[in-house]
Chain A
Amino acid sequence: GENVEQHPSTLSVQEGDSAVIKCTYSDSASNYFPWYKQELGKRPQLIIDIRSNVGEKKDQRIAVTLNKTAKHFSLHITETQPEDSAVYFCASIQGAQKLVFGQGTRLTINP
């Protein structure tokens, strides 16, 4: 079955700097790659997603890139702010709408 590896497990950046989180997947048939953000004590929420027919997608300060050949995708957050501090999960779809999640990255923004 699908396997998703996420790195790093923890990431600490200065406010205003950029943060990058990377994921690799194993199933070449996967075609949907969402990113979820989970703030402390709250539920995971979708922040951005990308489908396999697109190489990059942006939404204000966040962007996701996909390299289907290498089977990896990345989340980029620019001009980081304290409210970006959270745990981020990548995922890929396996079969009919079943998501496989990465292990999560705890992002800390230092003021």
Chain B
Amino acid sequence: DVKVTQSSRYLVKRTGEKVFLECVQDMDHENMFWYRQDPGLGLRLIYFSYDVKMKEKGDIPEGYSVSREKKERFSLILESASTNQTSMYLCASSLGGVRGDEQYFGPGTRLTVT
């Protein structure tokens, strides 16, 4: 059973703070993803990674960065949090390769920036 865990379920931060969101998967998946979920907008891809130390921008990368130093861990960094980054953040992983498309999601982190 694939397990994707996220470091916090709820987080409250102040404007301008640096914020770290951690994601860990335990199934040796190649691919990892960070999304934000907002009502009426679905899941929008922020960044993704196909391999250790590799990262690619998604559809809304502005104001975010990522780090993947180990295969099982993918971190999302908000360099200077702003109120418009208040959202639900979901991490996901997928096996990769042929037919390894299914994405497994973590429980989400609800971030509030005040």
**Is A9 touching B40 in the complex (CB atoms < 8 A)?**
yes
Contact for B106 among A43, A49, A93, A103, CB less than 8 A = A43
Residue of A nearest to B94 (CB): A97
Cβ of A70 under 8 Å from chain B: no
Identify the closest chain B residue to A6 (Cβ). B42
- A residues in contact with B58, CB < 8 Å: 98
Within 8 A of B (CB), among A35-50: 42-46, 49
Instruction: Write out the residue numbers on chain B whose beta carbons fall within 8 Å of the beta carbon of A99.
Output: 33, 45, 101, 103
Assembled-state Cα–Cα distance A49/B90 (Å): 20
Interface residues on A, range: 20 to 34
Q: Which residues of B contact A89 (CB under 8 A)?
A: 42-43
A49→B103 CA distance, assembly (Å) = 11
Chain B residues within an 8 Å CB radius of A46: 102-103
B→A interface (CB under 8 Å): 31, 33, 35, 40-45, 48, 50, 58-59, 90, 94, 96, 100-103, 105-108
7 A-B pairs with least C-beta separation = A43-B105, A101-B43, A103-B42, A101-B42, A44-B105, A104-B42, A32-B101
Among A80-94, those with CB < 8 Å from B are 89, 93
Bound complex: CA A9 to CA B45 (Å):
20
17 example contacts (A-B, Cβ-Cβ < 8 A) are as follows A32-B101, A34-B101, A42-B107, A43-B107, A44-B43, A44-B105, A45-B105, A49-B101, A93-B101, A96-B50, A97-B94, A97-B100, A98-B33, A99-B33, A101-B42, A103-B41, A103-B42
